[in-house]
Structure 1
Amino acid sequence: MGHYDFLPIILGSDENAYGNARLIHETYQIKPLLLCTRLLIPTMNSNLFDLVQIDRFDHEKVFPEALLSILEKHAAPNKKLIVIPCSDYYAGMLSRHYCKFKGLIANHFISEELLDTLDTKDKFYKLCEKHGLDYPKTIVCEAHERERALEGMDFEFPIVVKPENSNAYAYLHSDFEGKKKVFFFNTKDDYLKMVRNMNDSDYNGKLIIQEFIPGGDSSMRVINSYSDDNGKVKMMCLGQPVLEEYAPKTLGNYAAIISRSDMDIYLKVKAFLEKIGYIGYSNMDMKYDSRTGKYMMFEINPRLGRSSLFVRAAGLNMIAALIDNVVYGKEEECIYSDKIGLWTNVPKIILQKYVTEPKLSTEIKKMYKQKKVLKSLWYKKDLNLKRIIRISRYNYAHIKNFRQYYFNKQ
Structure 2
Amino acid sequence: MPETASSPASAADFDLVLVGSGLGVYAFARAFHEQYGTVATVVTKVGLEPMRRSVACELIELGAGAEDADMIEALVELARSRGGERPQLLLCNADSVVQLLSDHRGQLEDLYEIPILDAETLDRVSDKAEFAQLCESEGVSAPRTEIVDMRGLADAEAAAAWTPPTFDIPFPLVMKAAKTADMAAVRFPEKKKVWFVHSAEELDALLRTIARAGYRGRLVVQELIPGDDTAMCSITAYVDQAGRVTLLTSARVLLEEHTPDALGRPAAMITTPLPEALEQARRLLAATSWRGFANFDVKEDPRDGVLKFFEVNPRIGRNLHYNTAAGANVSRVVVADRIEHREIEPLTSYDEILYSLVPLPLLLRYVTDPAQRRWVRTVARRGAANPWAYPADGSWARRYAWRVALGHVRKFLRHYPRPTATGF
Superposed pair shares fold, TM > 0.5: yes
Letter in 2 for 1:383: G
Q: What's the CA shift string for 1:135-192, capped at 9, x where partnerless? A: 21112112369985452x23211100112233x2x52333323321111122223323
Partner residue of 2:26 out of 18, 28, 36: 18
Letter in 2 for 1:165: K
Q: Which position in structure 2 is the counterpart of 1:378?
A: 389
- SS state at 1:336 partner: coil
Letter in 2 for 1:329: H
C-alpha contact (below 8 Å) 2:132/2:145 kept by paired residues:
no
- SS state at 2:249 partner: strand
Residues 1:297 and 1:405: Cα distance change in structure 2 (over 3 Å): same
Letter in 1 for 2:403: R
Q: Which position in structure 1 is the counterpart of 2:195?
A: 183
Determine whether 1:135 maps to 2:145: no
Q: Which position in structure 1 is the counterpart of 2:170?
A: 156
Partner residue of 1:207 out of 213, 216, 219: 219
Partner residue of 1:394 out of 404, 408, 421: 404
C-alpha contact (below 8 Å) 2:88/2:113 kept by paired residues:
yes
- SS state at 1:225 partner: strand
- SS state at 2:169 partner: coil
Find the aligned partners of 2:25 and 2:56 in 1 and give their Cα distance: 11
TM-aligned CA deviation for residue 92 of structure 1 = 1.5
TM-aligned CA deviation for residue 75 of structure 1 = 3.9
Q: What's the CA shift string for 1:380-401, capped at 9, x where partnerless? A: 211354x555443322211100
Q: Which position in structure 2 is the counterpart of 1:265?
A: 277
Q: What's the CA shift string for 1:85-139, capped at 9, x where partnerless? A: 1111111122222222233223432110001111211122222222222221112
Find the aligned partners of 1:370 and 1:391 in 2 and give their Cα distance: 18
Letter in 2 for 1:163: A
Q: Which position in structure 1 is the counterpart of 2:93?
A: 86
Q: What's the CA shift string for 1:271-297, capped at 9, x where partnerless? A: 321232111111111212232333222
Task: Map residues 318-333 of structure 1 onto 2, 5 A cutoff.
Answer: 318-333=330-345
**Deviating more after overlay: 29-38 vs 391-400:** 391-400
Residues 1:57 and 1:366: Cα distance change in structure 2 (over 3 Å): farther
Partner residue of 1:7 out of 11, 15, 31: 15
Number of residue equivalences = 403
- SS state at 2:26 partner: helix
C-alpha contact (below 8 Å) 1:244/1:251 kept by paired residues:
yes
> Unpaired segments of 5 or more residues in structure 2?
1-9, 154-158
Q: Which position in structure 1 is the counterpart of 2:58?
A: 50
> Unpaired segments of 5 or more residues in structure 1?
none
Q: Percent identity?
A: 26
TM-score, normalization by structure 1: 0.91
Q: Which position in structure 2 is the counterpart of 1:229?
A: 241
Letter in 2 for 1:296: K
Find the aligned partners of 2:163 and 2:368 in 1 and give their Cα distance: 38
Task: Map residues 335-350 of structure 1 onto 2, 5 A cutoff.
Answer: 335-350=347-362
Q: Which position in structure 2 is the counterpart of 1:74?
A: 82
Determine whether 1:111 maps to 2:118: yes
Partner residue of 1:368 out of 380, 385, 396: 380
Letter in 2 for 1:228: D
TM-score, normalization by structure 2: 0.88
- SS state at 1:122 partner: helix
